[in-house]
Amino acid sequence: MSVLSGKKVLLGVSGGIAAYKTASLVRLFIKAGAQVQVIMTPASKDFVTPLTLSTLSKNPVHSTFYNEEDDNAEWNNHVELGLWADIMLIAPATANTLSKMANGNCDNLLIATYLSAKCPVYFAPAMDLDMYKHPSSISSFTLLQRFGNIMIPAESGELASGLSGEGRMAEPENIITFLEKDLESKLPLRGKKILITAGPTYEAIDPVRFIGNHSSGKMGFDIAERAAELGASVMLISGPTHLNVKNSVIDLVRVTSAQEMYDACHLHYRNVDVAICAAAVADYKPKFVAEQKIKKADASLFIELEKTNDILASLGKMKKQQFLIGFALETENEIENAKLKIQKKNLDLIVLNSLQDEGAGFGKSTNKITFINKDFVVEPMDLKSKELVATDIMKKVISFYEMSTKSE
């Protein structure tokens, strides 16, 4: 899956012959899973039609601050457009547009939006050979990069003038590759390996029946998705659940029983940087599993149980460089029990859930957690969607590595 998937891309098109390439560029963004809105300068419409880019982007194309033909039309709010975007790309960026960007000459919607943007801004110059080498163009390149904008260098090739040389806008495929590599290089968990457990475990009574719990696995799956978005290499070990991963870079390992999850965790734990044990693993399992379905006979049935292997405690004993996060679901004495779990299992952080909190627990789309670290610092969080809780958990992981870097 492309790092552009889910990103909101604002494409600014200025008036150069290379504007015809923006049709392919928009298609590539959409194929990568991005959302696209387009702003065109009035001059760019001579080279590619708004209808083409609107059809491909599946969004209206913006060009002016308001519709001159409709007195009742709402204005195109450049501030909202700038705040909407995760990425802004000006391609093609002509000498005229680059000069306006560098000097704040705000005479059209594109420049006004650029000046309002809070996101990373990329620009792909497109102009003839002598224009590309002119001191004024070089000054614009320098100033814009000094402002923090990122230049996608022009390529060499045949130009509209008939000359051949540097100044040709980078090909759409190369622009996409440039953006993906640049974004990936800035992901805070790039290069980190994270092991995550999710879902319930089922402990067989006979070939038909089992002991289990109500865990849906959603919390663990959301953590895995967020970790992958932040650049981590993710292995997700999941008990039985109907959920599937959306990000193709996540290595999903499906297991059924606590022992299978134990074995899978121990197979990979030594090679990971972070382990997040979000699964609701059964504490007990039947000591004897019937080979055939148990027939209903007596008024009562006695099943002897034995403890399962404690995955989290065993990982805590093995821990070396790993940042180890556990989950605790409590119904009473929540803080005290969670602190004991941190000590007994050698955890760096525990994510505490209480069934006393409305909106938390199994089978819900929301969660209310409390963070407790190994120094027993307690940090209660508000009720949030599980996706946002996953983001909060990953912020703790990022913070751990930022602190580790500062202490070196």
Please, what are the domains in the chain?
8-185 (3.40.50.1950), 193-288+301-407 (3.40.50.10300)
**Calculated CA dihedral for residues 126, 43, 147, 152, nearest 10 degrees:** -20
Distance of alpha carbon 98 from alpha carbon 140, whole angstroms = 6
- Site of tokens 């959920």: 243
Portion of the chain with pLDDT greater than 70, in percent: 94
Least confident segment among 205-214, 292-301, 314-323 = 292-301
What is the predicted pLDDT for the residue at 331? 73
What is the predicted pLDDT for the residue at 276? 98
Contact assessment for residue 366 and residue 358, using Cβ atoms and an 8 Å cutoff: no
The 8-class DSSP code of residue 271 comes to G
> C-alpha angle 306/310/316, rounded to 5°?
160
pLDDT digits (tens, 9 = 90+) for 213-271: 989 999 999 999 999 999 999 999 999 999 999 888 899 999 999 999 999 999 999 99
What is the predicted pLDDT for the residue at 108? 93
What is the predicted pLDDT for the residue at 396? 97
Q: How far apart are the first and last CA of the chain?
A: 34
Contact assessment for residue 87 and residue 179, using Cβ atoms and an 8 Å cutoff: yes
Q: Is the pLDDT reported for residue 74 higher than 90?
A: no
Residues in Cβ contact with 147 at an 8 Å cutoff, skipping those fewer than 6 apart: 102
Q: Is the pLDDT reported for residue 408 higher than 60?
A: no
Distance of alpha carbon 192 from alpha carbon 170, whole angstroms = 32
What is the predicted pLDDT for the residue at 357? 64
User: Parallel, antiparallel, or unpaired: how do β-strands 274-277 and 305-307 relate?
Assistant: unpaired
pLDDT band for position 353 (cuts 50, 70, 90) = confident
Contact assessment for residue 234 and residue 285, using Cβ atoms and an 8 Å cutoff: no
Q: How far is CA 39 from the centre of its chain?
A: 26
In sequence order, what are the beta bridge partners of 280?
200
What is the predicted pLDDT for the residue at 67? 60
Section 285-296 average pLDDT: 92
Closest CA to 223 of 275, 155, 149: 275
Q: Is the pLDDT reported for residue 70 higher than 70?
A: no
Section 20-29 average pLDDT: 97
Mean per-residue pLDDT of the chain: 92
What is the predicted pLDDT for the residue at 34? 95
Section 121-133 average pLDDT: 94
Distance of alpha carbon 5 from alpha carbon 26, whole angstroms = 13
pLDDT digits (tens, 9 = 90+) for 166-178: 889 999 999 999 9
What is the predicted pLDDT for the residue at 53? 97
Least confident segment among 117-131, 222-236, 277-291, 354-368 = 354-368
- How much of the chain is helix, strand and coil, in % rounded to 5? 35, 25, 40
Catalytically active residues are 213
Q: Is the pLDDT reported for residue 299 higher than 60?
A: yes
pLDDT band for position 300 (cuts 50, 70, 90) = confident
Distance of alpha carbon 374 from alpha carbon 31, whole angstroms = 44
Phi, psi of 122 (to 5 degrees): -110, 150
Section 54-70 average pLDDT: 81
